Chain A
Amino acid sequence: MTRLTFSLLLFLWQISLFSQEYFPKNDGVSNNNSNYTAFTNATVYVNATQKIDNATLLIQNGKVLQVGTSVKLPENTKIINLEGKYIYPSFIDAYSDFGIEKPKRSAGFGRSPQYDPSRTGYYWNDHIMPEVNAADHFKFDDKKAKELVEAGFAAVGTHHHDGIARGTGMVVALNQNGNNGERILQEKATQHFSFSRSVVKNQSYPSSTMGTLALLRQMYHDADWYAKGNAKNKDLSLEALNKNKSLPAIFESKDKLNNLRADKVGDLFNIQYIIVGSGYEYENIKDVKATNATFIIPLNFPDAYDVSNPYQAEYVSLQDMRHWNQAPGNPKVLAENNVPFAFTTHDLKSAKEIISRIQKAISYGLDETTALKALTTVPASILNNNQIGNLNNGSFANFTITSGPIFDKGTTFYENWIQGEKHVINDLNQKDIRGDYNLNVAGKNYTMKLGGEISKPSIEITVDTIKYKSTIAYKDNWVEIGMTKDDELYRMTSIVSNTSDNLSGRLILPNGLASAFTATKTQAFESKKKDKKEESTPETVSVTYPNMAFGNNSLPKSQDMLFKNATVWTSEANGNLENTDVLVKNGKISKIGKNLSAGNAQVIDATGKHLTAGIIDEHSHLALSSVNEGGHNSSAEVKMEDVVDPDDIGVYRALAGGVTSAQLLHGSANPIGGRSAIVKFKWGENANNMIYSNSPKFIKFALGENVKQSNWGNTETARFPQTRMGVEQVYMDYFQQAKEYEAQKKSGKSFRYDEEMETLLEILNGERFISCHSYVQSEINMLMKVAESFNFKVNTFTHILEGYKVADIMKKHGVIGASTFSDWWAYKYEVNDAIPYNAAIMQNVGLNVAINSDDGEMIRRLNQEAAKTVKYGGVSEEEAWKMVTINPAKMLHIDNRTGSIKEGKDADLVLWNDHPLSLYAKPEKTIIDGAVYFDLEEDMKKRQAINEERNKLMKMMMDAKNGGGKTQTPTKRAERDFHCDTDHLFEGFQDHD
């Protein structure tokens, strides 16, 4: 250490206000300073809601002693007159990584995957790190502190941003004159969780969102079990989790849907998480409110897209354009709905942007009190600290002195006092030189207007309408002005005096000679605040459900309707009925017959048209946030219901193809996949409302190349199984474990609750059905034999491309359904013998056969795929149609509700303009529970509206750009293209088929 830095440190040490009393002191005598400081004549905000005019604030030893209009000042008080100025409690950011080094991404990509944990003595999963304490990693960051302090912050909650369970966070004062002994306000203030794997660790599990959720649930179960003293081993992670249980838990979601998912985990374990939101809360505010959570909200409003190039502009989706327009209104929407929230600077490039972002939010309707709360009292309460965020007696003397109301444009931040220590932002005593002047330069008169902020004035020099390029710098009590006229530069400099409002001083002429100039003040500066208030709030376009192209202005509602004179494909024993009426009432099929009376129902003339039950896809991966949990060879603990994403445009497109229900399956990355979500494609509804109530329970199994990882590249040879022989043993092993788990559970002895085992038990007990991805005959046969040895039946074989070879064995086993592709083959080795006649042969043998899509494109045309069974194998048209309606309904155990046109069933219907098996047919209406979710005529109107709204938003973005606003390059989101084989390892999407 150099002598210079050493003495600098000494200096810093000495200026510290409250020395640590019991520390030995060898560099001098102990100079205690217990003087008082009073700030008088200020407008003081004691907290966000309590304002005192003309008040005095008295502080001593870093704390507030008293605030009010009649504060008695002791004799040893230093008085600072703040007449005309404002005092606010300094801000708090509850969600920061201040002073904690950013975790460094490990170079895991391309290596053989790591399935086991890298450490011992801790939890079995590396991404669970509740034992990490921010305080152990903390190092005060002066540079970052300065940035925060200048933005008005006095304290932050900070933690280690890595992993799913991230350990505890601490609260730190940003007092740059103090030391950590003074600055650390709370060593363990909060606990932290997130949806992101550790970037440092490489353990494969979890590789998906549903895996993350399952892992968190299991972690809590295990913690409980551990707390009861059942574990034989030491687990420092669970010990820490249990120990810190009572601390406020903050969950980083940063995603519209993850907000709700995090809260759902909390509900299971009686934890109310504080949720770090996404900025998209305005889109599903009712669901957000229902979480009852306090939110930490980012202010990273997107910049306008630069749409000046029309070719590039095409790439920006309506939903991204809308977010630009609507996001600044997010805080307002939260406030209106009484959702408590704090602001964070975490997603901003610099903390200094915070005020301009809040000003923007205010211009979009956010009230100033809520804004101030979001920076003070709310984060303080999140951090469980009542000594910050307010100026009550006894609180920390953390306050910011400003020139005016804190959120007004043009307000200057002068000083940020933290723990009674002054941090100068701008010179408090700097004179306000703003105003209009008569400027005389080299014998000519000009008008000079100084505006902007007191410490950073702006300048404009004009003669009549001619404007001259000019610059101004104002520091300490000197001002420097530059003016360019006729390409020549005039430089001026003047002292700012407290005795005169005029400026005068030296003028350097373009030829280098010195002269003098004068500027006589003609008018004082007037804030334009009032005019601004009169400006109307910026126009925002309406939110739709979902908030994107083709979204609904309001949610479709069930309506009574009568279809007159249709060709009705019943998918029942009575076959096709010509010239028949179907009455829909209260969301159900109420009556089928001739000449039915409509009553109050809307009459739809279906003459020449065909009415069918809605198409059901047994195998889809639409509307899911992620598909595969490939981190383990069994992932029975994961639930696709956790990750339903209702905002997938694929849902709307499937409706346009007549699909009303689908099973959203886990992928085929492992022999035992995850539990299914069975949904109705209610476009615009949230995930919960899409999922069937009392849904039949299903789970995805998979066989063959995908689970053996045959096509995943040469590095993926570490996970068992790598052969079909091994696949069988995975099942034998897990079902055996499940049996033993059940025995332990029934024995009344203590047992470790295991969500995976609970799920497998449901299978063994016939309460949960398997839908098994399968290709070749050997493995199909194998799974049936495994099931038989454990006394259960395989419900569905899906894909089942060699089903035609073992159809007789399947029938004998009692398979409920065989759900296949119409004509896919040759995409991998195991589908070499896949033939388009498969469905016909299986049907002839007597199996219940369905045609599925597993594809966001084919799902749009499942009627055509059904028609292929007529071509390949001569299936009758009525039977072919059943393969996409009642047959899949049967294998999904929803045939009592949907899948055919039968009185009493759900009104899930499609009106076709032509014979539904014709390639030329298209749906005119797709109806679910009696509500119209797709209507061809409405669709045409939506197309028009999308075009108009895009144009409107693009014009607004051009205006923003031309007004000097920042822009970003047009971008397009990556497509979702999930298939069975979509693998989620390493956060990326690799297609493996």
Chain B
Amino acid sequence: MKHLIQHIFLSGLMLMSLFTNAQQTPAGKQTETISITGVTAHVGNGTVVNNATIVFDNGVITEVGANVSPKGKIINAEGKHVYPGFITVNSTLGLGEVDAVRASMDVNEIGSISPNIRSLIAYNAESRVVESMRPNGVLMGQIVPRGGRLTGTSSVVQFDAWNWEDAAVKVDDALHLNWPNSFSRGRWWLGEPAGYSPNKNYSSEIETFKTFLTDAKIYAKTKPAKKNLAFEAVQGLFDGSQKLFIDATSEKEIIDAVTFAKEMGIDKVVLVGAYHAYKITDFLKQHNIPVVVGRTQSTPSFEDDDYDLPYKNPKLLHDAGLLVTINPGGRMERMNTRNLPFYAGQVVGQGMDKEDALKLITSNAAKILGIDDKYGTLEVGKSATLFISEGDALDMRGNVLSHAFIDGRNISLESHHTNLYQRYSNKFNEQQD
């Protein structure tokens, strides 16, 4: 008992110290017209405007071009680069703070089929991890619950907010499915070999989920007095108001998953992970399936694979005409999402055009999330969610931000990290004086 109290006390202490340093104060609404001049504008749709001026008012871009006359407050950024805010798809930012501290983790709910689980209400707008995204240009994301088969419902948020309501950009945009693994790992602790072998339960796992969806469809035909929260939560899949993101890896899993979704009458399907999607691009093109492909900075899954397969995977899919973005998921995924621009830049080294690589984390991401009417490019009429970088924002040496805006709001680029940097730089500078 004493132990338990100690535990609670300790966890309490940890939480306190995590949350006492709240993030930088969110920026207020745009009150005056802002013009950024003299920049290379990377529009995010594959095009570049040199020596551009970008004007935005009330949070909306009003003009972009080389021959635009600046208005309102002028930010002279000559020689610098402007990009649309980067967007991360299939993220768990704000749901977990410190991996090893269980009390700080809200990523994985228990249960297998939990579509009614909603990420938005647990999204921590004051997360120090989220705060560390902004100085690298990552300004928005789709926040996804993990855990189980049908993990729940995601929402899209922007990364400078007081609370989750402020943060919400698109509420309950999609549901997320972990497709069964066709190969599963041996339970070594029961004496099975530790490697992978065909999953004997693969078909039955699919069947279980199929039964659930079929029941949910039938449920919707009447209006039963007794509500079923899970059935209610998936109806958007059938009327097209919500997308289904399916995490599947191998060729067989991908073909099974897409075929299954189409047969169930689910129109809007997005593939996640999809390590082997490059082998069946024709199939995916035929079914018009966008892909959130695994992160480029990861090791190949198979010993015999090309060492650079993860590096070039987005290019292989893009070249085949598919709509592609990059999945940040994996080990230490939240903190490393600030490297999203470099995940995209990695593909440039494989021969992808830089502006195409930029599309991966801007317009493509916006289209996949269904927010491309407002976000993802530097085009007139779109939200002024953008940033100014000293150089090439896809390369670490150029990715140095001077300004960033979300819906025209001039957001802080400070973080827990910059604060500590200043604190200790000052300490040692004073010592030297």
Contact = CB atoms under 8 A, between A and B. Distances in A.
30 contacts: A311-B182, A311-B252, A312-B198, A315-B302, A318-B304, A549-B303, A711-B100, A804-B420, A804-B424, A807-B428, A808-B428, A823-B338, A827-B99, A827-B100, A835-B421, A836-B417, A861-B297, A864-B396, A870-B397, A871-B396, A871-B399, A919-B349, A919-B394, A921-B349, A971-B197, A974-B194, A988-B188, A988-B189, A988-B194, A989-B194
Contacts of A992: 100
Interface string A885-928: 00000000000000000000000000000100111111000000
Interface in A310-342: 311-312, 314-315, 317-319
A825 interface: yes
Interface string B23-36: 00000000000000
A860 B306 CA distance: 13
Interface centre among A705, A826, A921 (most CB of B within 10 A): A826
A373 interface: no
B129 A826 contact: yes
A873 B188 CA distance: 46
B342 A864 contact: yes
Given A827-B335, A837-B417, A919-B349, A993 B99 contact: yes
Nearest to B351: A920
B421 A829 contact: no
A108 to B, nearest CB: 10
B1 interface: no
B334 A826 contact: yes
B425 interface: yes
A532 interface: no
Interface in B314-347: 332, 334-336, 338-339, 342, 345-346
A315 B275 CA distance: 13
Interface residues of B, number: 64
Contact of B332 (A319, A548, A824, A844): A824
Closest 9 CB pairs of A and B: A828-B100, A837-B421, A311-B252, A972-B196, A549-B304, A920-B349, A835-B417, A974-B194, A919-B345
Nearest to B99: A827
A794 B188 CA distance: 39
Contacts of A844: 425, 428
Nearest to B96: A826
Given A317-B304, A971-B197, A972-B196, A829 B101 contact: yes
B251 A311 contact: yes
Interface in A806-843: 807-808, 823-829, 832-833, 835-837, 841
A346 to B, nearest CB: 18
A831 to B, nearest CB: 8
A917 B397 contact: yes
B80 to A, nearest CB: 15
Contacts of B346: 919
Given A804-B421, A918-B397, 17 more contacts: A311-B182, A311-B252, A314-B250, A317-B303, A650-B299, A828-B100, A829-B14, A832-B17, A844-B428, A860-B307, A864-B342, A872-B421, A873-B421, A971-B196, A974-B196, A975-B301, A993-B99
B355 interface: no
B169 interface: no
Interface string B408-433: 00000000111011001100100100
B98 to A, nearest CB: 6
A314 B97 CA distance: 37
A969 interface: yes
B19 to A, nearest CB: 12
A165 B49 CA distance: 74
Nearest to B352: A920
Contact of B299 (A807, A857, A864): A857
B294 to A, nearest CB: 12
Contact of B307 (A653, A841, A845, A987): A653
A656 interface: yes
A508 interface: no
B111 interface: no
B240 interface: no
B395 interface: yes
Interface string A853-885: 000111011001001101111000100000000
A841 B421 contact: yes
Nearest to A866: B396
Nearest to B342: A919
Contacts of B193: 971
Contacts of B425: 837, 841, 844
B396 A319 contact: no
Interface residues of A, number: 75
A986 B338 contact: no
B195 interface: yes
B185 interface: yes
A939 interface: yes
A826 B98 contact: yes
Interface of B: 14, 17-18, 97-101, 128-129, 182-183, 185-186, 188-189, 191, 193-198, 250-252, 276, 297-304, 306-308, 332, 334-336, 338-339, 342, 345-346, 348-349, 394-397, 399-400, 416-418, 420-421, 424-425, 428, 431
Contact of B197 (A650, A950, A969): A969
A778 to B, nearest CB: 15
Contacts of B302: 314-315, 317, 972
A835 B188 contact: no
A269 interface: no
A827 B104 CA distance: 11
Contacts of B304: 317-318, 549, 946, 950
A430 B173 CA distance: 81
A864 B339 CA distance: 11
A916 to B, nearest CB: 11
Most B CB contacts (10 A, CB to CB) among A317, A549, A864, A877 go to A864
A987 B188 contact: yes
A972 B308 CA distance: 20
A314 B182 CA distance: 12
B396 A919 contact: yes
Interface string A87-115: 00000000000000000010001000000
Contacts of A943: 306
Interface string A431-460: 000000000000000000000000000000
B307 A652 contact: yes
Nearest to A913: B349
A805 interface: yes
B303 A649 contact: yes
Contacts of B345: 919-920
Contacts of A920: 345, 348-349, 395
A919 B391 CA distance: 13
A857 B298 CA distance: 6
Nearest to A971: B197
Given A109-B189, A656-B308, A835-B421, A867 B396 contact: yes
A671 interface: no
A277 interface: no
